[in-house]
Structure 1
Amino acid sequence: MMNYATCPRISFDFTGRFLIPVYILVFIVGLVANGWGLKSLLQNWRKLKIINVFVLNLGLADILYLLTIPFLVVYYSMKNKWIFGEAFCKITRFCFNVNLYGSIGFLTCISVYRYLAIVHPVKVMGRITLTHSVIISVIVWLLVSVQSLPDMFFPKTFRNNTEKCFDTTDNDHVEDYLKYSLGWTLTGFCIPFLITLGCYGHVAVVLWTLKRTDKVLKQRSLKLLFILILLFSVCYIPYYAFRNLQLWSRVLTKQGICYKWYNGVYIARQISRVLVCLNSALNPLVYLHAHEDVPCCSKRCGHKLLL
């Protein structure tokens, strides 16, 4: 049995004081913003055609997560005492992960679609149908569910103490969870992020190099590029970086290796959890811009045919 007393104690009191008010704020703002965004989306349903399917699924993923927040608020307000049972703990964490990776997946789909509509309108025009977007959405849900499912098989409580609900796992399985988390980060975040960055990087170059592109439409597309990059940079990158770093610090602690930065990493990890949940409140910004007409970079197509 490893003696953890040799390492300085991490202050866990920060979690409850910090997360509770932010979770409440995100829950209220997120529900209002997503409700308003989905209402706006449905009002323009006939006009939006294909891309609305991805935006609709993005909103559903956000609402799925927001509905789990009240249970987490109760958990942290009772000083990390989970009263809803181990099974529901795993379901709550599963919903969080599905929302997180689902949001990333559908943001990536929106980016790819905008890229094709702007840069390759002639090649893809008429080939991508509403049925295709529905099938792609189903595939995204299946992929994120498969990625998140192994997390449910890791213990979420401390041995026989069912009053805990870990967002990762206990110390006995932390080495395996770190390996799983690194693979999860690669497939669920890094690859979609690079795809999104590549698509909109190319779009930005095309829009700024073609003088015939309408300035208003150019600004709208670049604004969506900024929003998506902001969502990835602010909401997601810190979360994945500090989650894996904290898991690594726990592995080192088990080996009796101690560093002063452990407590700082823990606090940064909690802040990153707040940042990542903010995506549910910020994603409605995508609703405002994803359905706007996109500039066509080919003389052979019109704006109305792209969406």
Structure 2
Amino acid sequence: MNYTCQTISFDFSGKFLPPVYILVFIIGLVANGWGLKSLLHNWKKLGNINVFVLNLGIADILYLLTVPFLVVYYVLKSKWIFGDAFCKITRFCFNLNLYGSIGFLTCISVYRYLAIVHPMRVMGRITVSHSVGISVLVWLFVSVQSLPDMFYTKTFGNKPGKCYETTGVTYVEDYLKYSVGWSLTGFFIPFLITLGCYGHVIVVLCRTNNTDKVLKQRCSKLLFILILLFSVCYIPYHVLKNLNLWSRVLSKQRICRKWSDAVYIAHQISRGLVCLNSALNPLVYLHGNEDIPAQLRRLLQPARRMFSRLFLSNSESVPVPQTADEVLP
């Protein structure tokens, strides 16, 4: 059923995305920098999973370095001034971070599954070298997936203008097909693998009474972190990205829908949420490295002492109420 076409409000992204990007840039850079420093400091203690955590941090830093340019872009009301090549590099770095993060989180899930459900089969057979090799394969796979995106039109040549997250209206039909396939291989299949691994792990841990309580708690925490990342960052983005592309295809065919504007705004919100993965991924550091929570407590200890002193000084300065005997003559 056709409806009268309504103009989509593009102003929302310029108001919503810059504050989110600035917040993610500050928190993500500090958290990832601190996490990577701790991991490198304890390099000899790195286990198989921490190799994936290290790559997760590198993917985050790679993306965060491009965020200031996106802030400038949206502050200038979607006017890209850094050239066509750098626009494509910026979008490529985002895709490397997004699908690299999903890939390394999936690897962590599979390793956890093997270590808990099949410990005797994998004991001594999986080494750090295997983890490094798998990490290289993840980077290659994600790069191959993301490379076609760079061949789609992103700007109006080298003139100041748009820097499309996807592409211009000319090739939007082809991009929708590419995006659906990309979402399937880059997100949906890894999500099912992660869900299956941790679902089986939780079942095994619940059935086994002699399982270490600490191990159960750590697995439950990591499962919560992964559910948080997928639910908040990844699922809304992929669903709404493809819906928004479909809306653009319909609009190009002069088939207008009332929900187009709502889908566009929801997609912009999901873009802000998906970049939060760069700030939330360090939660994996907190789970995987036992030294980091201790370091965090040491860093917060001076602040606690300062607040304690302020509280005590304020309580001492408050006058003590007089008793009834002192008040009455």
TM-score by shorter chain over 0.5: yes
Mind listing any 5+ residue stretches in structure 2 that lack a counterpart?
291-329
Q: Residue type of the partner of 2:250?
A: L
Which deviations, in whole Å up to 9, do the C-alpha atoms of 1:85-117 show, x marking residues without a partner? 001000000000011000000000111011111
Is 1:135 the counterpart of 2:133? The answer is: yes
SS in 2 for 1:152: helix
Q: Give the conservation status (yes or no) of the 8 Å contact 1:85–1:163.
A: no
| Partner of residue 259, structure 1 | 257
Q: CA deviation at 1:51?
A: 1.4
Instruction: Please show how residues 15-26 of structure 1 align to structure 2 within 5 Å.
Output: 15-26=13-24
Q: Give the conservation status (yes or no) of the 8 Å contact 1:23–1:274.
A: yes
Q: Distance in 2 between matches of 1:6 and 1:87?
A: 38
Runs of 4+ in 1 over 6 A off after TM superposition: none
Q: Give the conservation status (yes or no) of the 8 Å contact 2:205–2:216.
A: yes
Structure 2 residue corresponding to 1:199, chosen from 173, 189, 197: 197
Q: Distance in 1 between matches of 2:71 and 2:100?
A: 23
Q: Distance in 1 between matches of 2:190 and 2:201?
A: 16
Q: Which has the larger radius of gyration?
A: 2
| Partner of residue 56, structure 1 | 54
Q: CA deviation at 1:68?
A: 0.4
| Partner of residue 38, structure 1 | 36
* TM-score, length of structure 2 as denominator length: 0.85
More displaced, 38-47 or 51-60? 38-47
Q: Give the conservation status (yes or no) of the 8 Å contact 1:105–1:192.
A: yes
Q: Distance in 2 between matches of 1:251 and 1:47?
A: 52
| Partner of residue 305, structure 1 | none
Root mean square deviation of aligned Cα? 1.6
SS in 2 for 1:107: helix
Q: Give the conservation status (yes or no) of the 8 Å contact 1:86–1:162.
A: no
Q: Distance in 2 between matches of 1:174 and 1:155?
A: 10
Structure 1 residue corresponding to 2:218, chosen from 212, 217, 220: 220
Structure 2 residue corresponding to 1:7, chosen from 5, 8, 28: 5
* Percent identity between the two aligned chains: 78
Structure 2 residue corresponding to 1:272, chosen from 267, 270, 273: 270
Q: CA deviation at 1:43?
A: 3.1
Is 1:151 the counterpart of 2:125? The answer is: no
Which deviations, in whole Å up to 9, do the C-alpha atoms of 1:62-103 show, x marking residues without a partner? 000000000000111111111100010000000000110000
Q: CA deviation at 1:159?
A: 7.1
